[in-house]
Structure 1
Amino acid sequence: MSARVVVVGSGMAATRLVEELLARDTGARITVLGDEPHAPYNRILLSALLEGTHRADALTLRGLEWYADRGVDLRTGARVLEVDRDAREVGLVDGTRLGYDRLVLATGSIPTLPPVRGLVGMDGRLDERVHAFRSLDDALRLSRAAASARRAVVVGGGLLGLQVARALGVRGLDVEVVEGGDHLLRSQVGAPAGAILARDLRRLGTAVYTGTRAVRLTPAGLVLDHGYTLGTDLVVLTAGGRPSVALARAAGLAVRRGVVVDARLRTSDPRVHAIGDCAQRGDRTTGFVAPAWEQAGVLAEVLAHELAHEPARDVARDVAGGADPRPGRTLPAYEGSRTVARLRATDLDVAVLGEPETAEGEVVELTNPVAGSHRRLVVRDGVLVAATLVGDLSRIGLLTQYYDRGTVLSPGEPGALLRGERPGAGATPSAATLPDDAEVCACAGVNAGRVRACGSLEQVRDTTRATTGCGGCAPAVRQLLATRPSTTLEGTRA
Structure 2
Amino acid sequence: MSADKIDQRKRRERLVIVGNGMATTRLVEELVARQYDGDIIVLGDEDHPAYNRILLSAVLEGTHPIDALTLRQPEWYAGQGVDLRTGARVLEVERELRDVMLVDGTKIEFDKLVLATGAIPTLPPIRGLVQLDGSLHPKVHAFRSLADCERLIEAVEALPEGSRAVVVGGGLLGLQVARALSVRGVATEVVEGTEHLLSQQVDRRGGTVLKRHLKKLGTEVYTGARAVRLTDEGLKLDNGFSLETDLVVLTAGGRPSTALARRAGLTVRRGVVVGDQLQSIDDDAIFAIGDCAEHDGKVTGFVPPAWEQASLLAAHLTGEDVKYAGSRAVARLRATGLDVAVLGDPEHTEGDVVEVTNPIVGTHRKLVVDGNIIVAGTLIGDLSRIGLITQLFDRRTILADSEPGELLMAERLEADSSILLPDEAEVCACAGVSAGRIRACRTFEEAREKTRATTGCGGCASVVKELIESAKAPV
Rounded to whole Å, the distance in 2 between the matches of 1:266 and 1:380 is 33
Counterpart contact for 1:398–1:429, Cα < 8 Å:
no
Q: Is 1:84 equivalent to 2:94 in the alignment?
A: yes
Tell me which residue corresponds to 2:332: 342
The match for 2:313 among 275, 290, 299 is: 299
Taking the aligned partners of 2:397 and 2:472, their CA distance within structure 1 comes to: 28
Does the 8 Å CA contact 1:421/1:428 hold for their aligned counterparts?
Answer: no
How many Å separate the matches in 2 of 1:79 and 1:487?
54
Q: Is 2:373 the partner of 1:363? A: no
1:64 aligns with 2:83: no
Residue in 2 that maps onto 1:283 = 297
Separation in 2 of the partners of 1:170 and 1:486?
Answer: 37
> 1:430: which partner in 2?
417
CA contact (8 A) 1:395 1:428 kept: no
Residue in structure 2 matched with residue 376 of structure 1 by the alignment: 366
Where 2:180 maps in the other structure, the secondary structure is helix
Query: Counterparts of 1:264 and 1:250 in 2: how far apart (Å)?
Result: 22
Name the amino acid aligned to 1:245: T
Looking at structure 2, the residues matched to 11 and 245 of structure 1 have their Cα atoms a distance apart, in angstroms, of 15
What secondary structure, in the 3-state scheme, does the structure 2 residue paired with 1:154 have?
Answer: strand
State TM-score, norm by structure 2.
0.94
Please state if 1:35 is matched with 2:29: no
Cα drift, residue 421 of structure 1: 6.7
2:213 aligned residue (185, 200, 214): 200
Contact 1:184-1:198 within 8 A present in 2 as well: yes
User: Which of 229, 238, 258 is equivalent to 2:271?
Assistant: 258
Residues of 1 paired with 2:411 and 2:189: CA distance? 38
Partner of 2:4: none
1:462 to 449, 458, 461: 449
Residues 353 and 386 in structure 1, CA contact (< 8 A), matched pair in contact too: yes
Cα contact 2:291–2:306 (8 A) shared by 1: yes
Deviation at 1:337, TM superposition (A): 1.0
Q: Distance in 2 between matches of 1:131 and 1:419?
A: 41
1:435 to partner: Cα distance: 2.1
Aligned residue identity for 1:202? K
1:245 to 229, 244, 258: 258
Structure 2 distance, partners of 1:68, 1:199, is 49
Which one of 164, 176, 181 corresponds to residue 168 of structure 1? Answer: 181
Q: Is the 8 A contact 2:388 2:426 kept in 1?
A: no
Given that residues 416 and 466 in structure 2 are in contact (C-alpha distance below 8 angstroms), is that contact kept between their aligned partners in structure 1? Answer: no
Superposed, which structure 2 residues align to 1:73-152 within 5 Å?
A: 73-149=83-159, 150-152=163-165
Q: Is 1:157–2:157 an aligned residue pair?
A: no
* Cα separation, 2, equivalents of 1:429 and 1:119: 49
Over 3 Å counting, the alpha-carbon distance change for 1:377 and 1:429 in structure 2 is: farther
Residues 218 and 481 from structure 1, CA distance in 2 versus in 1: closer, same or farther, beyond 3 angstroms? same
In the alignment, structure 1 segments of 5+ residues that lack a partner are: 306-329, 489-494
- The gaps in structure 2 that reach 5 residues or longer are 1-10
1:427 deviates by 9.8
User: Aligned residue for 1:332?
Assistant: 322
Change over 3 Å in CA distance of 1:215–1:421 after alignment to 2: closer
Distance 1:125 1:58 in 2: 31
Match of residue 223, structure 2, among 188, 204, 210: 210
Q: Which residue of 1 aligns with 2:3?
A: none
Deviation at 1:429, TM superposition (A): 9.6
SS in 1 for 2:471: coil
Q: Normalising to structure 1: TM-score of the pair?
A: 0.91
Contact 1:196/1:373 (8 A) holds in 2:
yes
